[in-house]
Structure 1
Amino acid sequence: MKKINKFYLLAFLLISDFIIYAQGPGDEGDGDGGLEGGDPQPAPINSKLILLAIIGLIFGIITIKKYRKSIS
C-alpha cells in the first residue's frame, strides 16, 4: 500500500509541474514587452558538440573498464 502512495505522490508532483507552467488559452503574448518580454536569441549548440561526444565516449569506456575490473 505504501508503494502505491509513493507512486501517486510522484505522479502528482510530475504532472503538477506541467500544469503550473502551462500557458492558458489567449495568453500567446504579442511580444509587447510585457512581464516576460520577447523571446531571446537561440544559443548555438553545434560549436563543441564533437568534443562533448568524444569526452562522453572516453568516460563511458573508463566506467566500463572499472566495472569489469571490480567484478573480477
Structure 2
Amino acid sequence: MLVLTRKTGEGIVIGNDIIIKVFEIEGDRVKIGIEAPKATKVLRLELYEDISQENKKAIDVTRDAVDKLFELF
C-alpha cells in the first residue's frame, strides 16, 4: 500500500484519469473530491465491503439450493 501525506488543496493522480483532491482537514476528518470517468465505480470502503459480503452470502445460498436439488435425485 502506498501511503502519502497531503495538505489541503493538494491531490494525487491514479492512472491517467482519476484525480483525488484534499478539500478540507478538520480534526480526524478529511474531505476529499474524486474525479473519475463515469464508468468507474467509486464507493466508500465500508459500502464496498458490505456489498461484497452480501454477494458472498448470495453465492452460498445458491450453492446450498443446488446441493439440495441434487439430493432429490
Q: TM-score, normalized by length of structure 2?
A: 0.37
Q: TM-score, normalized by length of structure 1?
A: 0.38
Greater helix fraction, Structure 1 or Structure 2 = 1
Q: Which has the higher contact order (CA 8 A, sep 6+)?
A: 2
